Structure formats: structure tokens, C-alpha cells
Amino acid sequence: MARIASQGSSVGLSSEESWAGAEPAAGQGSVPGPFSLFCVQAPRVAPELLLAALADEPVVLWQPASGPALLGIGEAGRVVASGPGRFAAVRQKAAALLDRVDRAALPGVEPVLLGGFSFSADQAVQGPWRELGDALFRLPRWTYRCEGDHALLLGVIERGADGATVTRFSAERETLLALLTDLAAAPAAAPRSKVSIPLADEDPALLARSAALWEQGAQDILAGIQRGELDKVVQARCQLLEFGGAGLAEVLTALADERHTATRFAITEGALSFVGASPERLISKRGLDVQTEALAGTCEGADTARLLGSSKDLREQQLVVDEIVRALGPLCAQLERPEAAMPRALRGLVHLVTPMQGVLREPCHVLDLVEVLHPTPAVGGLPTNRALNWIETNEPDPRGWYAAPFGWIDARGDGEFLVALRSALLNGAEARLYAGAGIVAGSDPVREFAEVNLKLQTMRAALARSAG
């Protein structure tokens, strides 16, 4: 690519390369369909290694604990939307964009759009989130897809492109394959030291003000619960840090310890990078099969017995389960879940989780399910509208894309979305970290504030390690 650093070498395409139709020569307008799809087997490397070798290309990453990892590089097309109708608008625009890709000659090879949404409508159109906006999805020019020991490189180019565009596309292909070959052949790097560069602690006076503001907010929520106006509100906190401006690839590498229990994700737009490692799935859809989960209730350390015996945490978890069943149940011919929540251990925390799987009554688009579910009471509250009104009125920092849906969509309307937790917005040397805790009857504001700060440690530690 024009902005991928030249590796000083190139490789020819293997015999495994394929095009959806003939490779588009300059001005070849007779081939139907505006996009050609290219696919070739590629060497397998960790996506963050490839990302580290890229210069200024826009990227988007989806890297789950299991299943295919997707690294989108560059942009063949994009979908943006704003306002309360952003889910429906993205669905319509995404379908139109993906319909322009000729997939018939490469059965089984599916280009996808990758991206996400803001937590609330019109919340990311100004301030620190404005470059990402309310919704942004990309059809990458190149998608590096890897699973197990196998990897593919997918490319998208307009049919009938001019000669310069075709030449540049071919050069990008050669550069990427050569780069992947070099990275795969390089000796494995020695494990990096776990020693972190300490991040500057929050100013004690600022921390005290944040704690006081938090406790005031929690007490206000508890008063609303006492009056019968609220059942739960998830109160979030934003922590602003200076971290030295490490690159996105370094931050993702530092999040590698979370890879067995979380999905690592990232998107760049202009100077911004939104990155995280979320433990919570919002929805996965393949045909009529769907999977989701309720994740709520938290304790510090690894004391699962204490968590499973906490009436407050079990009640908080049940609120989320009941609301997901209420929202998703009518759309499903069957929706199964275990009778009791199970513990899920993360770094320094244990959550309660109730996995659910179902079969839809009739076909629908994954974004229909996203719109029905978001925000779950695990990140918003109940009643939903009152909880969201409290959040928008009282939280001092806009959530932007924090706790919002992030994922991928294909042409069949299948896809997968997470809840963008354990995340940070990076802009140069500045990082905005976000975490929240659910306030329900019986919550202790002081303990909830401590829980939020513990959740912030996932990204704090990653930023510290990335600077080392």
C-alpha cells in the first residue's frame, strides 16, 4: 500500500490465489459487479505483528479468544450513520455495500464490514469521539484472516479501475505477502519483561473529587431505587492519563494476557484509536442460531464462593438475565440457559455469567438483534429509558463508544458483536480509560468505586507495559 513501509523484496502469488472473476485489468468494465474479490493463502503471524509493520493505514481488528481473527487494512468502502436510527441506517447501507462485491466465484470467502457504534445516539459526534461518530463500519481494502495455523489475505478492488489503481493494488498485494513471509520467518521474539513503566498516579485531589462525585451519584441512584423509580443504573467513570504515546500494536501486544478470556478489538480513525479487550459478548448470529450472555455481578480476587453467595450480585445478575430473555425471547423458537449463573474468572476479578443460546423463529439481520439488546442492563440499567436519562444527565464524561456494540457484519446478515468494555480511547500520548459498576439496592458506593478502579487496571497495566 502506498503507506506500507517497503520491505525491499516481493514475492509472486502462490498457485492458491483466486479472484472472484478475472483479475481486473485497467478499464475492464465488461465484468459485472463494481468490486472484485481477491483471496490468497498467506503465512500465519499474530495480527498485532502485521499491524506493527503498517504505517498510517486505517485499521480495524477483531481478535476473539477462539474463532477467526480479522485485521482490516485500508478502506474500500465505509458506512457511517448518526442519530436514533443509526442501527437501521447501518443495516441498509451495509447491505448495499456488500452487495457490490462479487462473491460468486469464491464460494465460502466472505468479506465483512468491521466497526461499531456509540453508546447513545448523538453522543460521539462532538468532543474527543467526534472522528469516530455515532457509527462507523469499514469494508477493508485488505483483510488478513487467521485461525489456527491457517491464514488468508482478502483484497477488494473496483472493477474497471484505472491503470494506476490496478498497479498500486498489485504492489500492495506483493508488499503484504512479502511482509507476512518475512514476519513468519523471523525468529520468535523473546518474551517481554512483565515489568511495567509506572503511569503517573492520579492527582490525589482529583482522585478525591472523583470519588466524591462517584459516591454522590451512587447515592442519588440508590435514592431513586428507594423511591421505586429505578431498579439499576450502571455508573461509569472516565480516567484521563498521559501514557507516553505507545503505538496501537504495542498496546494490543500488552493486552495479550487477556486473549484467553476476552476479545481484543481496535479501530483507528484519523489520530484516534479505540482499543480494548472485552470479556462480554452481546450477540452472535449464524443463520437462525444465536448466542448471547448476561454478565453482571463482580467481586475482587478469585473468591467464587463469596460471589455465588452474594444476594446483591445474584439479584443484579438476574435483572440482566430477565431483560435479555424479555427482549430476545419473542424472536426465538427456543432460548436455552442454565438454571444458575456461573463464575467467570478474569485478571483480578470474578464475574457472574449466564450463557444463552437460541434458534430464531425466522431470519433477521444481526443488527436487528443488536438494536433489540443494546444497552443491556449490564451496561445501562432498568428501567432502560430512566437509567439512560440518568447516565446522560449525570455522568461528567461522554461514554462515546465505551460499553457500545463493536463487531462485524457479512452479506447474509450474520455477524458477531461484543460490548466494548475494558477499553480506552487513545489520542497521541493521551488516553481516556472507561469502566463502570452497577448500582442496585444494597450497593455500597465506596466498594463500587473501588471495583471500577480495579476494572480500570486492565487498560492501565496494558498502557504501562506498552511503554516498557
Those residues with Cβ within 8 angstroms of residue 245's Cβ, 6 or more apart along the chain or in another chain:
428, 429
Distance (Å, rounded) from C-alpha 328 to C-alpha 369?
Answer: 8
Those residues with Cβ within 8 angstroms of residue 175's Cβ, 6 or more apart along the chain or in another chain:
1, 4, 6, 7, 10
CB 351 within 8 A of CB 295: yes
Distance (Å, rounded) from C-alpha 344 to C-alpha 351?
Answer: 5
**Catalytic residue flag (residue 194):** no
Per the listing, cell 424472536 goes with 331
Amino acid in position 71: L
Rounded to a whole number of angstroms, the distance between the first and last alpha carbons of the chain is 30
Distance (Å, rounded) from C-alpha 385 to C-alpha 391?
Answer: 10
Distance (Å, rounded) from C-alpha 13 to C-alpha 173?
Answer: 9
**Catalytic residue flag (residue 280):** yes
CB 328 within 8 A of CB 320: no
Of 48, 250, 258, 280, which is the active-site residue? Answer: 280
Helical segments of 186-262, H only: 204-226, 248-254
Of 93, 232, 285, 455, which is the active-site residue? Answer: 232
Helix, strand, coil fractions of the chain, as percent rounded to 5:
30, 30, 40
The residues facing 427 across adjacent strands are 272, 430
Distance (Å, rounded) from C-alpha 403 to C-alpha 396?
Answer: 16
The residues that are catalytic are: 232, 280
